Structures are given as C-alpha cells and as structure tokens.
Structure 1
C-alpha cells in the first residue's frame, strides 16, 4: 500500500510537468494573437482558424483517445503521441508562414489530444476515492500554470528578448526532457501495474454507439459545449482589450495571465470542496453561476475602468471556471467502467470541436461588423444557458451512481 502511494505521487508529478508544458504550447497561438495578426498580416477570422487548427483535431481525437487507452494502455498512448507533439512544436518554432504554422498547430493538436484522458485514467486508478478529485484537480491545475507562463511570458519575452521564439524553444526542450522522464517513470514497478488490458474488449464501434445512446451523458455534452464559449472569449481577450480598450500587449498579458494562474488554486480548491462536501452537483452549479456572472460584468465594463479592475475580475473568472475539472470525476462516477473512457472522450471531444468552430466565428463577426458587440453578446447568452442545464439535468453522482444500462 505504501509503495503504491509513493508511486502515485511520482506519477502525478511527472504527468503534471507534461500537462504544464503542453498547455503552454497549446496556449501559444492565443497568447500570440496580437503579434501573429500583425506579423502574418491576416484577418481575425484567419487567426481564429489558426487557433482552431489545434482544437478541432484535438476534439476529433478524443474518442480515439479513450479507445487507444483501452487498446494500448495509458503509458504507450501518452509516449507515442507526445512524439507528434514534439514534431509539431519544433515546426511551429521554425515556421514563418501561416501555412506552416497551421500544419504545426494540427500536429500539436493530434499529439496532445490523447494526454489528458489517459492521465486522468492513471490518476483515477492509483488514488483512492477520497483523494481522486483532488489529485485530478492538481493535474488540471498544472494546465493553469502553463497557460499563465504563455500569456505572461510571451509579452515579457518580446520586451526583453526581442521576440517570442526563444521562450517557445525553451518550453519545447522542457517537453522533450519530460518525455524522456516518462519513458522511465510510466512503467510497471514491481506489483504496481500502470495499465492492465481487459480481455473482453468490445468492438470499437459498438463501444461508441453504446455510449452515445446513454442519455446520462447528454447534459455533460450540452454543459461542456456551453462552457467552451467562455474559453473562446479568453483566447480573444488580448486582442479585444487592445482593440477596444486601447491597452498595450504587456498590459493585456498581465490581465490574461491572471485568469490563467487562477486556474491553479481554482482546480485544486473546487475539487477539494467537492470531495469535502461529498457532492459534485452543488459546486458545479455554484461555480458555473459565479463564472457566468463575472464574465458578463467583465464584458460590460465602461472604457474608463482601471486596469486593476479588469485584472481582478479576470482572476476571479479564471478561478470560477475551474469547475470544469469536476466533469472528469463526474463522468466516471455516472457511467459504468466500460463506457467511462469513451464517455470522457466524447464529452471532451465534442466540447473542444464546439470551441474550435466558434473561435473563427467569433473572429468572423468582428471582421464583418467592425466591432466585438455581436460576438460578445452571443457569448453572454450562451453562458447564461449553462447553469440552467446543470440545474435541470445533472444528477448528483458522488461515489458512483452508475448502472450498466
């Protein structure tokens, strides 16, 4: 038991490093939006497409990710696909044209797509029920640190290093080092089996169809897709603040980075509160209401509002939106084990595809109207629908409520 506990902590540490690096790299396009629009001389909708090149394929790959986890095991899936991430990030670092950056984003999206689901499965396997959500929260919090370094680091790199590519290269090298670490750390150690394949694996298509027919998953589909509309705005926030509020790249980097760093305590505390209360629905609903309210206030602040108010609100918004981490405890507690992996993949995948579709649409409305009003109004309406879905259709699932339907 003691050996298993120590291994779980080692496992959590190394996959947190992976998730930190991957989130820095996947946030790069959003953090670099003001620079890339100017550097490449592209429209807002084209920039949205560049961001979506990562997220669309990431979303499409979520179902195969769960299936690959069953077929190959979490360790092999993570290691194999990280190689694609590494190829993509070095292509992004080298690229000077829109076309090559687009291809790089696509490769990074494929490479990163399998990581989180498999990391969650490893964490779920090696942490007890009373620590599982907290451990997943810590894993998810590492994404906030990666996003923070991306949104705050690039403006500082431009100011002090004369460009963004040096910082990007450093983080790329970190991911390579961590990949080597994972080769050695994500292995069976004595009686600890990192992954055990099931002998009764159902056909792939049958697994997908059976999970899609499970109506318990539908509220998670709707809620997660609505959640992503806020993330769309967070990706566009730097450009919005520059265009509408007249802020500098350094100033918007400070504001945006506070929202991402808030995800670190947010993911941990939201998960810990859920574990302490022994409830999932109440914290999910409460934090989603808070997040929607803060988003609406942020979008409607007058032009004269001081920068520190934007910073404080974005920190609170980033904290509140950390409720998304509860999905990844709730779905395995709602669905039977044979559906849980595919269910996680479907929810994460469809939500991410929704994000990838709406991101360029947001930019398109800015291009054709010459303002952010239409795009931001749509985001506010959709964000208000999200808590309603949770209240009406999500059931309490702490400890597992599933029956094999």
Structure 2
C-alpha cells in the first residue's frame, strides 16, 4: 500500500503541476496574444480572468462530485476537458474561440485540488497530511516555473500556439495515468491509515461555514491577497517587466520564475515559522506587512530597481502572497471539525479565484485608460496606478489578518495524527 499511495500522489501531483501551469501561463505570452488577436488590455485581462471565474464557480461542485462519483473519476474527466481546451487554445483562429478554450481549461483544472485533498485524506494520516500538502504546493511551484520561465523559452523557440498544443497532448497522457493509477481509498477499509469521521452533509456543512464569523476575515484576506498575486504575478507582471524595464520575453520569464522559487522555498519555511511562533495569525500579519512594504517600494520606484533587486522583489512577493496561502487553508481547517475539512476548504477556495478574476480584469482596464507608449507598450503612468491599486489591496489584506482568530492548536491529542483544538468555531 505504501508504494501505491506514493504512485497516486505522484500522478495527482503532476495534475496539480498543470493547474498552476495554466493558471500563470498567459503572463509570458500576453503580448503575443494581444498582437495575434488584435485586442486591448481589457479584453486580454478578461481572457485571463475567465479561468478564475470558472475555477471559483466549480469549487463547490468539485466537492460534491468528489463525495458522490469519487475523486478518481472527477480528476480523469476534468483532465480530459483541460486537455481539449489547451489544444483548442493553441488552434484558436480568433478571440472568441480563445475564450471558449480558456473556459474549458478553467473548468477542467478546477476539479483537481479538492479531489486531491480528499484522496490524500484517505491515504495519509493527519500528521502526514500537512507534510503532503506542503509538498503538493511545492509541486505547484514547479508548475509556476514551467508556466513562466519554461513557457517563455518554448514560446520563443516554437511559438505560443505549438506550446499549448503540446501541453494538451501531455495532459491526455496524464489523464490516462489518473484513470489507471489513482484509487479513491484503500480497497479494504480496515487497511486505511486514517479513521473515518462521521460525515456532515455538504449543504449543512456549507451553512455552518458561512454562518461562522471567523471564517470571513480569512475569506476576504484570500480575495485580496490572491487577487494581488494572480493579477500581477499571473498576468501583468510579465508585460510590466517588458514595457517598463524594456526586457525581452526570456529575461522577463527568468525574473517571473522567482515566483515559483518563492512558493517552493517559502511554503515549508512559513510552516516551520508558524510552529516556532506557535501562531498562525502572527505569520499572516508578518507576510501581509512585508507584502505591503514590497508594493510600497514598487510604487515609489516603478522603473528604477536594478535587475538583481527585481529577482529578489519577485521572490519575496511570491513568499508573501502565494506561499502564505497554505497557512490560509490550514487556518480554515482549524476553525472547523476535521469531518468538515473538505467543505470548508472548498468554500474558502472560492475567494482566491474570484479575487484573481476581478484583479486581472481591473488592472487591464486601468492600463487601457492610459495611452500606449507606441512600441514600448503600456505607459509607465498606467503601471504606476496599477501598483498603487495593488498597494491599497495589500493594506486591506493586512487589515483582515488583524481581525483573524488565532487557530494554532494549543493541545494535541495522543491518537495518530489527531489534533484537538480549543479554538472551535462559534
């Protein structure tokens, strides 16, 4: 069983790799899309944001499908939809087809994370689960690396269209592996490494989540924090580096790759810091304060940072806006009983992607409000306003962290992987 569960995790980890790949892939090829389709920044921002609208809208159904038809079938079908969407995006003759393709990709990859969490909860003990979640987020960081730096190289060498068609073909292979390898739970329930808690109905659980007032500061924090990350790191960060700093696509992709390293390095480090401080809330406050200071620096010096400083800036930006999300899911789970873990994570997971959808579109509209600087692209004045909006959003995210409840479990039970938390929701 030990070998099988690692094989299952490997396949699902690869699926999550492509979730992040598609999530940030438009940032590097944004200029190519605008040129080929002849669209303005607002339309391009909407093209990027439609992924997030689809992803957010499918989180509740993803939990329902995982509980009814099972994670294996859910992930297999979703990967097929994503594969077809990726190939169609590479073949799109116009912006309308590109929108249809992007919707398919968004719908497909939206049903990977929640089923993966459910599978891991069946195959790994509670104490192992936290470690596996950290590894999964690191794999997502590798997907960011591929969606920025590697895609930049592929698009430069073969064009963005061929790149997305190849990714679609690889996803088909991954879909077949998911069907052949993944199993929802150990065949014999007596062999399961975890105890099965009493189930709480999905609708009853959802009502309990939304009626818990301590849920909302975390949810709103997710909206602003991930709106900043996806809006800038996922789409407009690449054009910003190319237009304001005059970088090539490859140079911009190299700097954007620091987003991936921020996730890979930052996720486990923030987890260790939380344990050392014996606090989730303090880590939220520290990360949100650092994010606000980073954006304040960018507003003050929008075109004056040396290249080495940009590498450092994007690394820290990723740590403070992306790696920190694992702490957000952890805090959300600790607000509720273990039996509600899937429901509460699915509910809070709506907010990061609504934030990404809103901010991608909003930042594009802001850039459209300023005249183009001819061949240089969007003007520095437009990007300065974009950075100012992001700074305001970071201050609002910081305010949410101050209103959060401390969820760090003060007492740990003696059972395997069991955590007893006195900070129960009221």
TM over 0.5: yes
Question: Which residue number in structure 2 is paired with residue 250 of structure 1?
Answer: 250
Q: 1:275, 1:261 → 2: CA distance?
A: 22
Aligned-pair RMSD on alpha carbons? 2.6
**Range with greater deviation from structure 2 (273-282 or 386-395):** 273-282
Choose which of 150, 155, 166 in structure 1 pairs with 2:152. 155
Q: CA deviation at 1:273?
A: 3.9
State how 1:79-118 maps to structure 2 within 5 Å. Answer: 79-118=76-115
Alpha-carbon distance between aligned partners in 1 of 2:305 and 2:8, rounded to the nearest angstrom? 45
Are positions 1:136 and 2:133 aligned together?
A: yes
Q: Judge which range, 52-61 or 286-295, deviates more.
A: 286-295
Cα deviation, residue 291, structure 1: 2.8
Residue of structure 2 in register with 1:262 after alignment:
262
Cα 1:127–1:300 change in 2 (3 A) is farther
Q: Which residue of 1 aligns with 2:232?
A: 233
Distance 1:66 1:197, change over 3 A: farther
Match of 1:382 in 2: 393
Match of 1:173 in 2: 169
Counterparts of 1:18-33 in structure 2, within 5 Å, are 18-33=15-30
Give the alignment of 1:281-320 within 5 angstroms.
281-301=281-301, 303-320=303-320
How much has 1:6 moved relative to structure 2? 4.2
CA distance in 2, matches of 1:354, 1:316: 20
Query: Structure 2: how far apart are the matches of 1:110 and 1:394?
Result: 33
**CA shift in 2, pair 1:251/1:359, >3 Å:** same
Bigger mean CA deviation after superposition, 112-121 or 335-344:
335-344
Does structure 1 conserve the Cα–Cα contact (< 8 Å) formed by 2:75 and 2:111?
yes
Number of aligned residues = 400
User: Helix, strand or coil for the counterpart of 1:253?
Assistant: helix
| 1:74 corresponds to which of 53, 71, 76 | 71
Q: Structure 2 matches for 1:306-345, cutoff 5 A?
A: 306-321=306-321, 322-345=323-346
Match of 2:348 in 1: 347
- Deviation of 1:179 (Å): 1.8
Partners of 2:259 and 2:317 within 8 A in 1: yes
2:197 & 2:334 partners in 1: Cα distance?
Answer: 20
Superimposed CA distance per residue, residues 189-231 of structure 1 (whole angstroms, 9 cap, x where no aligned partner)? 54356999999663x5444333211223111111101112321
Of 183, 187, 190, the residue aligned with 2:179 is 183
Counterpart CA distance in 2 for 1:195 and 1:94 is: 46
1:364 — aligned with what? 365
**Cα distance between partner residues in 2 of 1:386 and 1:196:** 37
Length-normalised TM-score, structure 2: 0.85
What is the CA–CA distance in structure 2 between the aligned matches of 1:111 and 1:376, rounded to whole Å? 31
For the residue of structure 2 that corresponds to 1:96, the secondary structure is coil
2:200 and 2:280 map into 1 onto residues whose CA distance is: 30
Q: Which residue of 1 aligns with 2:412?
A: none
Q: 1:104: how far off?
A: 0.7
In 2, the alpha carbon distance for the partners of 1:394 and 1:76 equals 37
* Aligned twin of 1:12: 9
The alpha carbon displacement at 1:343 in A equals: 2.0
Following superposition, the deviation at residue 375 of structure 1 comes to 2.5
TM-score using structure 1 length: 0.90
SS at match of 1:350: helix
CA spacing shift, 1:58–1:9, aligned 2, 3 Å: same
Unaligned 5+ segments in structure 1 are none
Unpaired segments ≥5 residues, structure 2: 372-381, 410-418
